[in-house]
Amino acid sequence: MDSNYDEITRAMQAYFDGFYNGDVEMLKTIFHPCCHLITASDGPLQDDDMETVYARVAGRPSGASEGYRRKDRILSIDKSGPECALVTVNIAIGPKMFTDYLNFLKIDGRWQIVSKVFTYVPLAEAHAQAAE
């Protein structure tokens, strides 16, 4: 099996742990500085640079401090070359279940997220959909 899949899976642990623990320094190990997070979940296009994202993470209680149960998983890893991959994940943050589409590039020997497009539903709705 291609070792890049294992490398991407290990890199994703920093993503999941960073968001759950509200650890900006850990998130900086997985996000490339040029990355933007893009959504239209709340209406108009929202395009946040990483400094905006890090400020938001630092300014809210973490899932760990609030006692939320972790709900994160990799849904797919689609590698299209030795340096390019799309990873689709679910991650619960607070009362929301996010579906994230993470574009990775292998830069200087390590996998980094260079863009993220996401959507979310209320966690209760995600639980209801899973039960169907």
Q: Which two tokens stand for residue 109?
A: 């020997």
Whole-angstrom distance, CA of residue 89 vs CA of residue 98? 8
DSSP bridge partners of 129: none
- In order of their start, the domains of the chain are 3-131 (3.10.450.50)
| Residue 130 pLDDT grade (very low, low, confident, very high; cuts 50, 70, 90) | low
What predicted TM-score, i.e. pTM, was given to this entire model? 0.92
Q: Residue 19: what are its φ and ψ, rounded to 5°?
A: -70, -45
DSSP calls for 84-128: EEEEEEEEEETTEEEEEEEEEEEETTEEEEEEEEEEEEEHHHHHH
Phi-psi region of 101 (alpha: psi -120 to 50; beta: other; left: phi over 0): beta
pLDDT digits (tens, 9 = 90+) for 33-90: 999 999 999 999 999 999 999 999 999 999 999 999 899 999 999 999 899 999 999 9
Q: Look at residue 127 and tell me whether its pLDDT is greater than 90.
A: no
On whether the CB atoms of residues 30 and 23 are closer than 8 A, the answer is no
Q: Look at residue 105 and tell me whether its pLDDT is greater than 90.
A: yes
Counted residue by residue, the chain has a size of 132
